[in-house]
């Protein structure tokens, strides 16, 4: 095959062209560009509304029945449930490998069997979560001093305009409230007219209706018959008749206030101090995140001609900036790395040879792109990372092949024969070297959770790129190298290049070769030095000086703060605290200024009161505020870090002891759980809710407060809200009054009765009948309330019911049938050893829990650390076994693979030294780099050992073969290692925010490969000879030991045997 392609250059060129065209076509037509890879949600989600119900009502009526119904369903690992006022939700986590569609059907069928749901509940929504529904590409802030109706209509117009743009199919308005038609009537008017709220509800249901009545088939044609009386507007509802007396109609508008407005529970949303709504623009299908961002930016820039003065639109939270930065990093790294690699190869080999070797980069990349849809991989921040990381590795096989062909030419072989023989001679080590590198990346496929979703994007990129690079080096490269002139043209550039190449050969002959001979003579000392280096690094790591973080946090261009007050806090009180936080931020805005431009580093500010996030339901005790930070690339100097800005903001705000939780985040981690930030210390306290459990949670918080390593601590103790319980008196039975009738009338008065639900345009609108808000906000109304009996009499509430004051939680969280309470702490920075602190406090927490029969468990990083460590060890062991197997097949030996694998532990030493030199704290990204390094590091060693075997097959002694292999393979080993390092240098030197996420893995690869080169050039020859010395010594000992037991005849035979 090699000779056929070498002699048929047209076939080789057509193969190269086909790969390039297929890759380009796939890139433009088959691969969507998204910001983050879609997360695999191995869960089924259940949402159910119980309007007006308390958290405990939701727990009793919805969560517990569903938990009981799901007992015994196969494939369920965990059931996480939350009850809030008016709503219950569940995340049913599946066991690995479970068919989610089958589980969805099982869950739906089990829930359908439940017959105890209250009538006021709505149908449950059961679905499989899709991360593309949550992560927007960017948002548009629609601002203006407008009424809520006007602002919503403007936001709707923006939404419609954006969806009409080509390439955008989904956008949604966030921060608004649902439309609602409220019918509010004073109790005095009800009494005056002898009416009840039920009478008004019945009137709306009877008079506001459209009903098809069939058709009339007459001789003149067909006529559709229908009654039309459905009310849609405030005026139409006001004209609904309630009663008629002596020809006078009593209309609904005569006794009630009809308002066409919004549902209650107003979230305060502001952007740069002005009322605002947000239009989130999403990516679906094959849509391109960058194209979406570009079109939305163009749209926003043209808003002055689209909307009246006073309405402004701003771009907010543009996530495409990250993918743009990653693309820029990829392109720059590829171009710079390719140029540096070509320059390096051109200097030490031949410029023409260097060009064709570097040509393998686009061929390999095109092949990798071509197979991305087959692996289900999109163009996102992590898959692009795979391309960046492989820039320096992709040409390794071509370098070894090309360098060997170059030597064959120098030996005088014709170009065609040199290309064929040179390629064939190194085919086995090059092929298996590429295979070992591919295999080394495979463990990244088997990490679970959100981190696994990110890491699993890399192997499907690296593997195909290396595969097509291998194909290029075997079938395409020889066809091009046969055209190289044996003797280059004589010109100044050639002379300079030849002098440098000759200088390298002089270095090999006069410097490296004597050093290698010296090392081989003192091989025991050399081995002792390498072992000492290994022990020193092990001691350094075990002493605690080498820190470790699980998930590297990278500064983003946004800093946010979240406030959570006690549940009974009013919206006005929460707003006052948020104003205080905003005032501190405005002071920060004045303090942090770019020295040259005078522009503040604090840019757009988004404030939310009444929820922790824009898409969450109303909660009067929560608030959040975020602001964008001026990108370092737009500053005259790098300026302060986000953590410094956040620290100053926190200092200006001061302590908020009244808050249940207050946190400021200045960075972002890849791994984010549904309820916890994995880099924090997170604790679940389990057991029935009680004052004792709340006190234990506070004590845990106090315990965490004692550590200066934490910037904030919290205990989400649900203080509970005051509640009024109504119970019937015995006299009620004499009036035929039931608990159900009492509850219905009280609910109608205070929460309201849903008289009707109508569709108006795209809005689903409820029509609610209830008392005015002024009467619903006072206990006096409850005291004066009258209850209508089945006989039509109105009696005071106090006559038929007792009222008791109590407290009830406003939020309930359950896990696997047990109620949980969360405590935790946020570390100051990534250098804090959360695992060590967790180990220290575990016995103390256990002592706090034991007297009250409570239990606790860690979640997030602490809980996953042991499992992640176990998976890493198992993955490393499996990887070592597979690498050993591949090397044993390649070398046809069971012992020689151990020499090749010697490079791995010393390459890891180099990786750790690289982290120390770069000032980087190792993380799982670093470990992923070290796993990949195991495959890359053995490539050079394999080339060395393979050449030793070739020379020994030709009759050379082991020592001669080892010394000749060092000199003969010095150049390809040096070039492959240096090109890998040089290919990653642009990334290592990149100061952009996007590059910081990639640097730990690149550091492991770059520095590990360089250190492995030193191991290959000196340790491997010494180790082979030392092993041979040991073997000879063992044989000698064996002969000496068994000599007395042998017969004289055997000794005579042994003396006469020439093989001994």
- The per-residue pLDDT for range 964-1023, each reduced to its tens digit, is 888 888 888 888 888 788 778 877 877 665 566 678 888 998 899 888 888 888 888 898
Specify the pLDDT at position 720.
66
Helix (H, G, I), strand (E, B) or coil at 866: helix
Strand ranges for 480-631 from DSSP E: 553-564, 602-609, 622-629
CA distances to 455, 667, 872 from 451, rounded to whole Å, are 6, 17, 13
- Are 1012 and 911 in contact by the 8 Å Cβ rule? The answer is no
Q: Can you tell me the distance from the alpha carbon of 247 to that of 252, in angstroms, rounded to the nearest whole number?
A: 16
CATH number for the domain formed by residue range(s) 138-178+265-318 = 3.30.70.1320
- Are 85 and 54 in contact by the 8 Å Cβ rule? The answer is yes
In the chain, domain spans: 2-34+322-548+866-1034, 43-129, 138-178+265-318, 557-669, 689-720+809-859
What pLDDT, in 10s, does the model give residues 712-753? 788 877 666 778 888 888 888 888 888 888 888 998 899 889
239-240-244 Cα angle (round to 5): 105
Residue 45 has, within 13 A of its CA and on its CB side, a CA count of 10
CA distances to 2, 655, 701, 806 from 717, rounded to whole Å, are 72, 19, 10, 17
- Are 93 and 78 in contact by the 8 Å Cβ rule? The answer is yes
- Are 771 and 186 in contact by the 8 Å Cβ rule? The answer is yes
Q: Do domains 138-178+265-318 and 557-669 have the same CATH topology?
A: yes
Specify the pLDDT at position 106.
93
Specify the pLDDT at position 1059.
29
- Are 225 and 213 in contact by the 8 Å Cβ rule? The answer is yes
Specify the pLDDT at position 81.
92
- Are 47 and 89 in contact by the 8 Å Cβ rule? The answer is yes
The closest of 1001, 879, 999 to 934, measured between CA atoms, is 879
CATH number for the domain formed by residue range(s) 43-129 = 3.30.70.1430
Q: Can you tell me the distance from the alpha carbon of 564 to that of 822, in angstroms, rounded to the nearest whole number?
A: 14
Contacts of 366 (CB under 8 A, 6+ apart): 19, 20, 22, 23, 24, 468
Residues of the chain with pLDDT under 70: 35-40, 131-134, 244-248, 304, 326, 329-330, 333-334, 447-454, 486-491, 544, 550-555, 633, 667-679, 718-720, 830-831, 864-868, 991-997, 1046-1060
Give start and end residues of each alpha helix (H) in 359-471.
360-375, 381-389, 396-410, 415-425, 427-441, 449-455, 459-471
The first and second tokens of residue 35, run together, are 């910001």
Instruction: Write down the residue that tokens 């009024």 correspond to.
Output: 724
Q: Can you tell me the distance from the alpha carbon of 21 to that of 369, in angstroms, rounded to the nearest whole number?
A: 11
Specify the pLDDT at position 133.
57
The closest of 274, 279, 283 to 299, measured between CA atoms, is 279
Q: Can you tell me the distance from the alpha carbon of 1011 to that of 906, in angstroms, rounded to the nearest whole number?
A: 7
The first and second tokens of residue 179, run together, are 């439309």
Q: What are phi and psi of 827, to 5 degrees?
A: -70, 155
Q: How many CB atoms lie within 10 A of CB 25?
A: 13
- Are 691 and 821 in contact by the 8 Å Cβ rule? The answer is no
pTM: 0.74
CATH number for the domain formed by residue range(s) 2-34+322-548+866-1034 = 1.20.1640.10
Residue 900 has, within 13 A of its CA and on its CB side, a CA count of 36
Contacts of 242 (CB under 8 A, 6+ apart): 193, 195, 199, 200, 203, 250, 251, 252, 254, 255
Helix (H, G, I), strand (E, B) or coil at 33: strand
Q: Can you tell me the distance from the alpha carbon of 269 to that of 602, in angstroms, rounded to the nearest whole number?
A: 19
- Are 444 and 928 in contact by the 8 Å Cβ rule? The answer is yes
- Are 479 and 8 in contact by the 8 Å Cβ rule? The answer is yes
Give start and end residues of each alpha helix (H) in 807-954.
834-849, 861-891, 896-901, 903-918, 924-953
- Which contacts qualify for 494-498: CB closer than 8 Å, 24 or more apart? 497/346, 497/347, 497/350, 497/351
CATH number for the domain formed by residue range(s) 557-669 = 3.30.70.1430
Contacts of 642 (CB under 8 A, 6+ apart): 555, 556, 559, 629, 666, 667
From the number of C-beta atoms within 10 Å of its C-beta (0-12, 13-18, 19+), residue 672 rates as middle
The first and second tokens of residue 722, run together, are 């005051």
The closest of 858, 431, 450 to 685, measured between CA atoms, is 858
Instruction: Please report, in angstroms and rounded to a whole number, the separation of the first and last CA atoms in the chain.
Output: 44
């Amino acid at each position: 095959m090699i000779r056929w392609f070498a002699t048929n250059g047209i076939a080789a060129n057509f193969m190269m062209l086909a790969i390039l065209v297929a890759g380009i076509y796939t890139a433009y037509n088959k691969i969507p560009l998204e910001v983050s890879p879609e997360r695999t949600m191995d869960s089924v989600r259940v949402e159910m509304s119980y309007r007006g119900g308390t958290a405990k009502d939701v727990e009793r009526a919805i969560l517990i029945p569903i938990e009981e119904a799901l007992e015994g369903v196969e494939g369920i690992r965990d059931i996480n449930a939350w009850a809030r006022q008016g709503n219950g939700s569940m995340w049913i986590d599946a066991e690995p490998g479970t068919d989610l569609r089958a589980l969805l059907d099982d869950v739906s069928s089990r829930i359908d069997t439940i017959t105890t749901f209250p009538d006021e509940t709505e149908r449950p929504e059961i679905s499989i979560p899709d991360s593309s529904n949550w992560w927007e590409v960017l948002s548009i802030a629609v601002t203006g001093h407008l009424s809520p109706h006007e602002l919503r209509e403007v936001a709707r117009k923006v939404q419609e305009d954006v969806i009409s743009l080509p390439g955008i199919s989904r956008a949604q308005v966030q921060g608004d409230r649902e439309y609602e038609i409220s019918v509010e009537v004073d109790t005095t008017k009800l009494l005056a007219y002898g009416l009840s709220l039920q009478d008004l509800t019945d009137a709306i249901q009877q008079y506001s209706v459209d009903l098809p009545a069939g058709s009339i088939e007459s001789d003149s044609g067909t006529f559709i018959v229908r009654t039309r009386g459905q009310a849609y507007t405030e005026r139409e509802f006001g004209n609904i008749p309630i009663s008629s007396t002596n020809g006078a109609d009593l209309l609904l508008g005569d006794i009630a206030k009809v308002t066409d407005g919004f549902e209650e529970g107003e979230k305060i949303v502001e952007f740069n101090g002005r009322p605002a709504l947000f239009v989130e623009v999403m990516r679906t299908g094959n849509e391109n995140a960058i194209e979406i961002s570009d079109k939305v930016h163009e749209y926003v820039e043209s808003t002055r001609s689209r909307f009246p003065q006073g309405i402004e639109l701003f771009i907010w939270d543009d996530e495409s900036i990250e993918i743009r930065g990653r693309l820029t990093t990829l392109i720059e790294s590829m171009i710079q790395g390719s140029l540096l690699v070509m320059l390096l190869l051109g200097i030490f080999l031949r410029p023409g040879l260097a060009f064709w070797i570097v040509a393998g980069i686009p061929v390999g990349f095109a092949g990798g792109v071509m197979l991305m849809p087959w692996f289900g991989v999109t163009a996102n921040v992590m898959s692009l990372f795979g391309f960046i990381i492989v820039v320096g590795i992709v040409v390794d096989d071509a370098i070894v092949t090309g360098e060997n062909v170059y030597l064959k030419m120098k030996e005088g072989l014709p170009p065609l024969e040199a290309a064929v023989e040179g390629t064939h001679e190194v085919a086995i080590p090059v092929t298996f070297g590429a295979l070992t590198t591919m295999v080394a990346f495979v463990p990244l496929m088997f990490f679970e959770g959100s981190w696994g979703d990110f890491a699993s994007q890399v192997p499907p990129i690296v593997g195909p790129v290396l595969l097509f690079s291998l194909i290029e080096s075997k079938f395409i490269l020889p066809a091009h190298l046969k055209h190289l002139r044996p003797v280059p043209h004589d010109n100044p550039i050639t002379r300079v290049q030849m002098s440098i190449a000759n200088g390298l050969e002089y270095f090999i002959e006069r410097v490296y070769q004597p050093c290698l001979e010296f090392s081989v003579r003192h091989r025991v000392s050399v081995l002792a030095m390498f072992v000492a280096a290994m022990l020193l690094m092990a001691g350094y790591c075990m002493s605690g000086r080498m820190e470790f973080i699980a998930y590297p946090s990278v500064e983003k261009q946004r800093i946010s703060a979240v406030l959570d007050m006690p549940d009974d806090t009013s919206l006005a009180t929460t707003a006052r605290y948020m104003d205080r936080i905003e005032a501190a931020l405005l002071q920060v805005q004045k303090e942090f200024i770019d020295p040259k431009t005078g522009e503040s580093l604090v840019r757009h500010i988004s404030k939310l009161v009444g929820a922790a996030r824009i898409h969450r339901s109303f909660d009067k005790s929560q608030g959040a505020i975020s602001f964008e930070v001026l990108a370092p690339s737009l500053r005259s100097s790098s300026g302060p870090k986000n953590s410094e800005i956040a620290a100053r903001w926190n200092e200006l705000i001061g302590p908020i002891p009244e808050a249940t939780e207050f946190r400021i985040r200045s960075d972002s981690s890849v791994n984010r759980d549904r309820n916890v930030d994995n880099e924090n210390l997170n604790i679940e306290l389990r057991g029935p809710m009680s004052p004792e459990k709340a006190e234990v949670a506070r004590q845990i918080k106090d315990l965490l407060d004692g550590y200066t390593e934490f910037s904030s601590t919290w205990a989400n103790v649900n203080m509970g809200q005051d509640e009024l319980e109504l119970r019937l008196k015995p006299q009620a039975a004499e009036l035929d009054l039931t608990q159900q009738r009492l509850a219905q009338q009280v609910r109608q008065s205070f929460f309201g009765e849903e008289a009707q639900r109508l569709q108006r345009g795209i809005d689903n609108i409820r029509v609610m009948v209830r008392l005015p808000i002024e009467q619903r906000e006072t206990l006096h109304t409850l005291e004066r309330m009258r209850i209508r009996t089945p006989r039509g009499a109105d009696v005071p509430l106090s006559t038929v019911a007792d009222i008791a004051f109590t407290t009830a939680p406003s939020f309930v969280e359950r896990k696997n049938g047990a109620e949980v309470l969360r405590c935790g702490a946020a570390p100051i920075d990534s250098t804090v050893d959360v695992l060590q602190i967790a180990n220290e406090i575990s016995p103390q927490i256990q002592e706090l829990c034991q007297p009250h029969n409570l239990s606790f468990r860690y979640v997030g990083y602490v809980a996953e650390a042991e499992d992640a460590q176990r998976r890493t060890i198992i993955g490393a062991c499996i990887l070592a076994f597979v690498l050993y197997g591949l090397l044993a097949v390649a070398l046809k030996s069971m012992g020689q693979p151990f020499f090749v694998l010697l490079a791995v532990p010393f390459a890891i030493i180099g990786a750790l030294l690289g982290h120390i030199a770069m000032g980087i704290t190792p993380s799982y990204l670093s470990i992923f780099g070290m796993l990949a390094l195991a495959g890359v590091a053995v490539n050079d060693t394999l080339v060395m050992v393979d050449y030793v075997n070739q020379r020994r097959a030709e009759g050379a002694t082991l020592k001669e073969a080892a010394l000749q292999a060092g000199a003969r393979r010095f150049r390809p080993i040096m070039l492959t290692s240096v090109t890998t390092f040089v290919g990653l240098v642009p990334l290592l030197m990149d100061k952009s925010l996007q590059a910081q996420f990639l640097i730990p893995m690149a550091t492991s690869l770059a520095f590990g490969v360089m250190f492995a080169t030193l191991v290959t050039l000196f340790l491997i020859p010494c180790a082979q000879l030392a092993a041979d010395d040991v073997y000879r010594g063992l044989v000698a000992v064996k002969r000496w030991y068994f000599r007395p037991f042998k017969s004289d005849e055997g000794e005579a035979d042994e003396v006469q045997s020439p093989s001994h």
